[in-house]
Amino acid sequence: MAEVTTSCFSRVALLILYILHQSCVAKSTLIFNVLSFGAKPNGVIDSTQAFLDVWTAACASSDSTTIRVPKGRYLLPNAMVFKGDNCKSTDITFRIDGTLIASSDYRVLGQANNWLSFEGVTGVSIIGGALDAKGTSLWACKLAGSTDCPNGGATSLSFTNSKNININGLMSLNSQMFHIVINGCQDVRIKGVKVNAAGNSPNTDGIHVQLSRNVAIFNTSIKTGDDCVSIGPGTKDLWIEQITCGPGHGISIGSLAKDLEEEGVQNVTVKNAIFKGTQNGLRIKSWARLSNGFVQGVQFLDVVMFNVQNPIVINQNYCPHNINCPAQVSGVKVSDVVYQNIQGTSATAIAIKFDCSATNPCSGIRLENVSLTCRNQEVQSHCANANGKIVGTVQPNNCL
């Protein structure tokens, strides 16, 4: 009997060892170091080819792969595209302990749409590190009104037509234009990201999402010169939680109605947000022109404002600087928008402004437990073509 018991235990032990071995084999990860491909961490020698070569090597494997970028500064002066067309791996992680830097000459990247671009990839993660796009000289050129400036500038990090993307603990510094763009993607998680740019840096949106589904942004700090988060047409199932914004232009849905044929925005939640000295807080904006676009199912929950110029705003006559305004009526229909537990201070007397379309009035607007004050002024609300209801205490007084 003892022999049988010992034999059974031996078989069980062997089985457990086999399962553990197979588990380790299944989870094995190839590791590529950019230094082995010729990258130089001195911030002087161009490491572009090394990064492209290590990407090619990672894509050639069907295993999970980690691309290690050790401490140091890596000069990547040119626009780079990491394509997923021929990628066998669906699990590639960039683990960055250093800083990737662009050229200090803004003209090198100034005509490019993107600096670091991922196109058609699956299962890519970017963990840690910093991107320094050296955008300050381009901003200065634009702010000075020089005719020698490039019309646009490069987005620092872009994902297009990709899925299962993870960006964790990345810092983006001084982007020429947008910092991070998620375009045509699915299943994206952004966590612990920090964005830093001057409050007067033009068109430097922190995170821009469009034509994408199931995107989550958590525990993020954004200081920039434009929208902290901008939400474009075709965005569905977006969750933003624990975000700090300021300086910047707030969190904006839009601008919409740029085109007649335009996908709608739906199922967006912003929760536990803090705005500090921003131009706007929670904003929905559309141009005053015909469009079949829409905004539906939006929740703004548990938000604190500190000295925000326009804490709550829907503007369907959007036209920055009042130049070449379409002077029509917005076709975008805004419905089912909830503002719940919003408190803090407004820098202007009009703390709530709903300027909606005359032909497509806003509907289903819900204000619940809103408390906004303004130093030395009586706080007010303004409504045009807006329908909805209030729940609990709302200050300023309801104008719906």
Looking at the annotation, which residues are catalytic? Answer: 226, 249
Pairing type for strands 171-173 and 194-196 reads parallel
Distance CA 182, CA 161 (A): 9
Other beta carbons within 10 angstroms of residue 212's beta carbon come to: 28
Backbone torsions φ then ψ of 375, nearest 5 degrees: -65, 130
DSSP string of 153-168?
--EEEEEES-EEEEEE
Exposed/middle/buried for residue 368 (C-beta within 10 Å: 0-12, 13-18, 19+): middle
Q: How far, in Å, CA of 115 to CA of 21, rounded? A: 42
Report whether 186 contacts 212 (CB < 8 A): yes
**R_g over Cα of the chain:** 25
> Who contacts 319 (Cβ-Cβ below 8 Å, separation ≥6)?
287, 288, 325, 326
